[in-house]
Amino acid sequence: MPKILLPTPLRPYAGGAASVSVAGGTVADALQSLVERHRALRKHLYDDQGRLRSFVNVYKNDEDVRYLQKDATPVSDLDALSIIPSIAGGAGGASAAPPSTAEEVALSNEEIRRYSRHLIMPEVGMEGQKKLKGARVLAVGTGGLGSPLTLYLAAAGIGTIGLVDFDVVDDSNLQRQILFGVGDVGRPKLAAAAERLRGINPHVRIVPYEERLTSANALEIIRDFDVVADGTDNFPTRYLVNDACVLAGKPNVYASIFRFEGQASVFWAEKGPCYRCLYPEPPPPGLVPSCAEGGVLGILPGLLGVVQATETIKLVLNSGDPLIGRLLLVDALSMRFRELKLHKNPDCVLCGPHPTVTKLVDYEAFCGIEPEAAVAADGVPEISVEELKAMRDRREPYVLVDVREPHEIEISAFPESVKIPLATLPENVNRLSTADEIVVHCKTGVRSAKAVRFLREAGFRKVRNLAGGINRWAEQVDPTMPRY
């Protein structure tokens, strides 16, 4: 009788035996005789449809029976059959699809009609459109830049678009974030964005990541995409996206905006400089205001986001001259586009020949930003808007100091406040008395915390910061006051 050798994991289902003698004939007969003798083996050898499991191999002597006559392979008394597991596995990455090549992507008749203006261009054509469909692009941020970027990528037929955002749509977003409408205010950005993008093109697969991009998840998320487009508005995330792209070998289509000016480039360490070659160190915290602090012209991210979409599509099509090694500077007021040549920094700590940054780091710390909790615990005494209201209602004496800029005071202000912009506080300290109960406020509480710290160092003891600023007052105490 022929013998079947069992692998270690199946031996417990055969009473611990390493081999079992079975009836001869064909492979099918031998296996049938095996599972009749040891019924518990069936589940591990066959799936629910009765097919041999894909990771169960049957070898006759040294040959896989799949390459002989499969089930019908004859088995004699002298043959040894072996059941050998295929040991396989892997990290998976089930979120975005496995890499697809243009050959295995097909366009339906409906898609062909949709993309006809692309298809009649020889530079795109069927081949290019299939490349777009096979492409996987990750948009980090669905705000001002991410809106036009993803709208055009979806319209153009990029097959898989990953979105990273954890924010909720706010009224103040609508001036530039054209993915969202009035009805979306209060909704998670990702839900609203996915709905809008699917509405534009149902052939696009949207992969949402409703989380903050961090050193812990960035490489894992980015690995499943071909191109990353950075639409973030803060330095820690910008360095994080850059570093993760360099470590993962992905191109980073970058843009940033402030007030009337913007810049864009393609950072791809394999072919040119990275963001760290251009800016090895972040600016000191507070020096460069964010859009939330300094404002931004609403159409500017439209301009730059479309540059990002264009560069992304060029990278996917592998055509034209990408913005690699060039920094495009846009000034909307003068409507001038300038270009700076960028060179790879041979001493770059990340993409240079002798890197010292070989993994993702703590980018908040790198950018000198203290975690919020640490700032609060930093000895700045606070007063809540409710407490301030109670003090007001009881007509207790206090001095309210507004450290915002004059154009902000035009939007909203407390009538009784003393207006001293933060930058002019040192020369105006003599307008305040250490004897008074002082409450300092700004828009959200960040600048006023600095003011409180300054005043305490100047000898003021009875000074507190209005937590959440005038915006929180408008939100929680006085709904007639505008929030901005």
Partner 1 sequence: MAGRIAAAIRQHGVEAYPEECCGALLGVVENATPRVTRLERMKNARVEERRRRYVIDPLEYARLEKRADAEGLSMLGFYHSHPDHPAVPSDYDREHGFPFFHYVLVAVRAGVPGEIASYVLSEDRGAFDREELLVEDLQE
Is the C-alpha dihedral spanning 460, 461, 467, 473 positive or negative?
negative
Please give the Cα distance from 290 to 330 (Å, whole number): 18
Please give the Cα distance from 305 to 56 (Å, whole number): 51
Say whether residue 92 binds partner 1 (CB under 8 A).
yes
Among 78, 87, 182, 374, binds partner 1 (CB under 8 A): 87
Say whether residue 91 binds partner 1 (CB under 8 A).
yes
Angle at the Cα of 290 (from 289 to 292), degrees rounded to 5?
A: 120
What's the min distance (Å) between Cβ of 24 and partner 1?
Answer: 21
Among 1, 12, 386, 476, binds partner 1 (CB under 8 A): 12
Please give the Cα distance from 168 to 175 (Å, whole number): 15
Say whether residue 247 binds partner 1 (CB under 8 A).
yes
Please give the Cα distance from 244 to 223 (Å, whole number): 9
Helix axes 125-134, 299-317, angle to 10 degrees: 110
Query: Interacting stretch for partner 1, rule CB under 8 A, among 8-16, 193-201, 286-294, 443-451?
Result: 8-16
Q: Which is closer to partner 1, CB of 62 or CB of 396?
A: 62
**C-alpha 108: how far from chain center:** 30
Among 3, 4, 10, 115, binds partner 1 (CB under 8 A): 10
Q: What number of residues does the chain have? A: 484
Catalytic residue among 274, 351, 367, 442: 442
Q: Which is closer to partner 1, CB of 10 or CB of 264?
A: 10
Q: Which is closer to partner 1, CB of 348 or CB of 439?
A: 348
CB 53 within 8 A of CB 47: yes
Residues 6+ positions from 235 with CB-CB distance below 8 Å = 282, 283, 288, 363, 367
Query: Interacting stretch for partner 1, rule CB under 8 A, among 186-194, 288-296, 357-365, 475-483?
Result: 357-365
Sheet strands side by side (includes 261-267): 205-209, 160-164, 136-140, 227-230, 252-258, 261-267, 326-331, 336-341
Say whether residue 94 binds partner 1 (CB under 8 A).
yes
382 vs 348, 386, 458, CA distance in Å?
43, 12, 18
CB 190 within 8 A of CB 208: yes
Q: Per the structure block, which two tokens stand in for 54?
A: 């894909």
Say whether residue 335 binds partner 1 (CB under 8 A).
no
Are β-strands 19-21 and 3-5 bridged in parallel, bridged antiparallel, or unpaired? Answer: antiparallel
442 among known catalytic residues: yes
Q: Which is closer to partner 1, CB of 62 or CB of 347?
A: 62
Give the residues across from 400 on adjacent strands: 439
Query: Interacting stretch for partner 1, rule CB under 8 A, among 163-171, 337-345, 353-361, 450-458?
Result: 353-361
Q: Between residue 186 and residue 225, which ones bind partner 1 under the rule CB under 8 A?
A: 219-220, 223
Q: How many CB atoms lie within 10 A of CB 155?
A: 15
Q: Between residue 276 and residue 315, which ones bind partner 1 under the rule CB under 8 A?
A: none
Among 93, 186, 320, 371, binds partner 1 (CB under 8 A): 93
Give the residues across from 414 on adjacent strands: none
Among 105, 248, 411, 481, binds partner 1 (CB under 8 A): 248
Say whether residue 270 binds partner 1 (CB under 8 A).
no
Say whether residue 46 binds partner 1 (CB under 8 A).
no
**C-alpha 300: how far from chain center:** 22
Say whether residue 44 binds partner 1 (CB under 8 A).
yes
Q: Which is closer to partner 1, CB of 66 or CB of 338?
A: 66
Residues 6+ positions from 79 with CB-CB distance below 8 Å = 2, 60, 61
Query: Interacting stretch for partner 1, rule CB under 8 A, among 86-94, 123-131, 200-208, 471-479?
Result: 86-94
Among 42, 46, 59, 413, binds partner 1 (CB under 8 A): 59
Say whether residue 90 binds partner 1 (CB under 8 A).
yes
Say whether residue 62 binds partner 1 (CB under 8 A).
yes
Please give the Cα distance from 380 to 166 (Å, whole number): 29
Among 21, 26, 82, 384, binds partner 1 (CB under 8 A): 82
What's the min distance (Å) between Cβ of 7 and partner 1?
Answer: 6
245 among known catalytic residues: no
Catalytic residue among 245, 274, 277, 291: 291
Say whether residue 7 binds partner 1 (CB under 8 A).
yes
Give the residues across from 26 on adjacent strands: 74
Say whether residue 430 binds partner 1 (CB under 8 A).
no
What's the min distance (Å) between Cβ of 64 and partner 1?
Answer: 7
Which residues of the shown chain bind partner 1 in the complex (CB under 8 A)?
7-10, 12, 18, 43-44, 55, 57, 59, 62, 64, 82, 84-94, 98-99, 219-220, 223, 247-248, 358-360
User: Catalytic positions, please?
Assistant: 291, 442
